[in-house]
Structure 1
Amino acid sequence: MENDRLRIRTNQTSRHWAEVDIAAEDETGGIGADETARHLSQAVRSANLVVLSGLGTSLCVKRGDDRLAPTMWQLLQRVKEAFARLDAIEPMHDRRSRWSTFTAASNVAEEEENLEHVLSRAKLATELATEPVRLLQERLLAVAEEVIRETVDFLAPDVSLHTHANFLRRIARRPARKARVRIYTTNYDRCFEAAAGREGFIVVDGFAFGSEPQFNPDQFNYDVVRRDTEERTDYVENLFHLLKLHGSIDWELDEGSGKVIKREGTRKPLLVYPRSTKYEMAFSQPYVDMMAAFQASLRTPATTLVVIGFGFNDKHIAEPIMAAVRSNLSFNLVVVDPTLEVRCRADGGANPYLQSFARLVDDGDGRIALVEGTFEDIVPLIPDVVSQTEIERHYERMRNIAPNAQDRR
């Protein structure tokens, strides 16, 4: 797909992918532009707007021309590189490489390129193997998880988050009569939190205010209001809920109290690692509260879910979405991904959930829109329905007088 174009498939595009010329004006963009505008406008005006964010929303984060967020394939290569460095420092007694030993004990091919599959089998090996093999597998698995932790912790003050900030400005400024936007993400990074801080947005993420915030799911039932001298109250602007379904690099489990705390720079982040057992892990604390909230959001009437950069490979997340499509007639779904056409095809490489959505669209279901594009493609097309608030104007003025202001955006 060209960088300046995207495509959409809805019940109005005659079972085809309609091209949308991003540079064209609405009146010259054809049915593709019309359908994109209609579904995105409906989303931001929905009584309940929910966003599900996956890896695709972090892949736009760069330093210069270098993309900082790793793909699963890149994580695999970095794990292999870490094993190779250990081989160079301290060779195995049998002179085999650690990666070869790791994959052999896990009963997977040395050439296997699915990191999730490798880690899943390695975890199983630690539970079933004899003592010497188990201890080695545990050490190597710990090395792999350390590589993942370090690689996903890529954010720095000089890294631009322009796309994330623009996205928040367009979807998180909601009229007081509408529910707050909820962003659910499978990403470990802090892109949304950092963008919110730079733009003056308030993030409700389930952690109580304090010097060492502790997780409390009741926080998602609270709101923030402003009181003036006449004892009147109104809801503050620019607030959204952020729920991290697979954990965060700044979460840590306090073993003494058993509570989840937020601690920047922790060496023991609480993460659901990419392996098959993440389904079970996702239903332990604190993830179970967030999964319950996600399922409740999808059952709420007049809800629009915008899915961006999520591959529908996690069954524990994809199944509730499919259930909402089946049972909630006032539920609307917009899926944004740059490889949708291939993944909707009826062949061996397709995703069954995306295939089902495509069939529903072709059979006339007007609640679903499939948009083949990236996070960067779609954000400028989201209508900005609320005028800039005074606090946003203040933050913009402060940025303009700060040194290197543009570099930090």
Structure 2
Amino acid sequence: MSKLIYDPSEYIKGLQQILVSDKKKIVFLFGAGTSVAKKNKISINIPAVAKMTEIVEKELFKKDKYKSAIEEIKSEIGQDNFNIETFLTNIVQKNQIICTGNLNGLNKGELCSLIEETKEQIRKIVSKHKEIFENDGIDNLIHVDFAEWIKRADRKQAIELFTTNYDYFFELGMEEKNIPYYDGFTGSYNPFFHSESVEDLCYLPKQTKLWKIHGSLGWHYNEKNKKVLRTYSDGDDIMIYPSILKYINSKKQPYAALMDRLTNILKQPDTVLITCGYSFNDEHINERIFTALQSNTAAHVYALYYDINWKDGEKIYTLTEDSDIVKLIKTNRKISIYGCRNAVIGCQYGKWKLKRKPDKVDAENINLYFDTEYASKENPINDEKKENDSLSGEGELILPDFTKFVAFLQSMILHDDRR
């Protein structure tokens, strides 16, 4: 059975039209990949899962009482499956069942300490805001360029951003560009989370919305007045950490109100959700998206899915026809997933391939989103020396890389309309 062919020039042109038009309600869902993205070599970013796991493990190993426990747990999980989420899930589950005995050589109190210290290490890793300012690195943050697109895009309806990230990168970008935004908190001395305003889709209609659905640095729960407050970041920040408890915690406030917002806005007419840096590994979020799409015939989701893994110096593309995410996406025609080499559109799996060799007029635009043999900077698609060479048409969609996606967004804004 031959694989379907999807011409990226056709499908990305459709995405461009959606983004430049003000008829659609544009919603973004940004995952961890957007905090990994770097504008340049000196950009400060959040490490990916593998590196984060390595850092946390190294810090925990400084305490002898954890060494053998971690090694045992790693053996139980398996080296290929061991990461910060599987590790935290493992110790959380053990802490739920342990009573007076020991597991992996740790008693209940020591397991509790291991859980809290693991969370603290994660919090330290994502707390990059001070480092950015100390190194005068705000201009090297790709999120500033994204904020510039928000500021310059001429849209009647405000952009809504949902993110699973805890860091301040999107806040830093919008504040650098003087963009007013609303995140569900109101007040000055002790800003508090106001769930009613999150539920009202007409609240502050002109302001950009930033919804941090897994919590954030600087969020605290005040036991005395039972409110979620926003203040300085410290060890008491409330966040949904990567573990099996994500689904349970997402049903609590303030997360439930934010998840309801995601569901409700996807039920609105002419809504388009674009995801980037999101892996579709969070079942509680997937459930909300799929449920909302069942009741809205006009909504659509475009998932920009970065599926490149490296093994022994070779690129491995994980968006294969038998992968779990492809099976998931195939259950709903209203979701299109754009991987780096392949895509699922209309529940049909296929590969990216240009149907014809682009002319010089098309070449510059194609270079913004697709790499072929002739589409790289070293060997541009419209290189006259290659005019007579054959072109396979196959290549790599680069938009799943958040940095490239932001450049793509900015290309749709005329340079002479800067404000």
Shorter chain as denominator, the TM-score bin is 0.7 to 0.9
Please point out which of 86, 93, 108 is paired with 1:117.
86
2:401 maps to 374
2:54 maps to 77
1:21 maps to none
- Asked if residue 345 in structure 1 is aligned to residue 313 in structure 2, the reply is no
1:211 maps to 189
In angstroms, what is the RMSD of aligned CA positions? 3.3
SS at match of 1:344: coil
Q: Structure 1's 66 and 169: CA in aligned 2 closer, same or farther, altered over 3 A?
A: closer
- TM-score between the two structures when normalised by the length of structure 2: 0.72
Structure 1 residue 151: Cα displacement? 0.4
Structure 1 residue 148: Cα displacement? 0.5
Structure 1 residue 363: Cα displacement? 4.7
1:117-165 CA distance string (max 9 Å, x none): 2211211111211336111111111111110010011122222354222
Task: Tell me how many residue pairs correspond in the alignment.
Answer: 341
2:312 maps to none
Unpaired segments of 5 or more residues in structure 1? 1-13, 19-31, 93-97, 225-234, 394-409
1:298-377 alignment, distance < 5 Å: 298-339=266-307, 342-348=317-323, 350-354=325-329, 356=331, 357=336, 358-361=343-346, 363=348, 373-377=400-404
1:172-183 alignment, distance < 5 Å: 178-183=156-161
Whole-angstrom distance in 2 between the partners of 1:33 and 1:192? 30
- TM-score between the two structures when normalised by the length of structure 1: 0.74
Whole-angstrom distance in 1 between the partners of 2:43 and 2:415? 32
Q: Structure 1's 335 and 350: CA in aligned 2 closer, same or farther, altered over 3 A?
A: closer
1:170 maps to 149
Q: Which amino acid aligns with 2:119?
A: E
2:25 maps to 48
SS at match of 2:238: strand
Whole-angstrom distance in 1 between the partners of 2:407 and 2:39? 18
Q: Which amino acid aligns with 1:125?
A: K
1:144 maps to 118
Unpaired segments of 5 or more residues in structure 2? 102-106, 309-315, 337-342, 350-368, 370-396
Structure 1 residue 347: Cα displacement? 2.6
Q: Which amino acid aligns with 1:151?
A: I
Whole-angstrom distance in 1 between the partners of 2:143 and 2:187? 24
Q: Structure 1's 193 and 315: CA in aligned 2 closer, same or farther, altered over 3 A?
A: same
1:245-279 CA distance string (max 9 Å, x none): 00001111112212111112322111100001110
Higher relative contact order (CA 8 A, sep 6+): 1
Whole-angstrom distance in 2 between the partners of 1:332 and 1:350? 17
Please point out which of 4, 9, 14 is paired with 1:38.
14
1:284-299 alignment, distance < 5 Å: 284-299=252-267
1:47-102 CA distance string (max 9 Å, x none): 31110001111112478546530212222112211122122xxxx4xxxxx14324
SS at match of 2:173: helix
Q: Which amino acid aligns with 1:373?
A: P
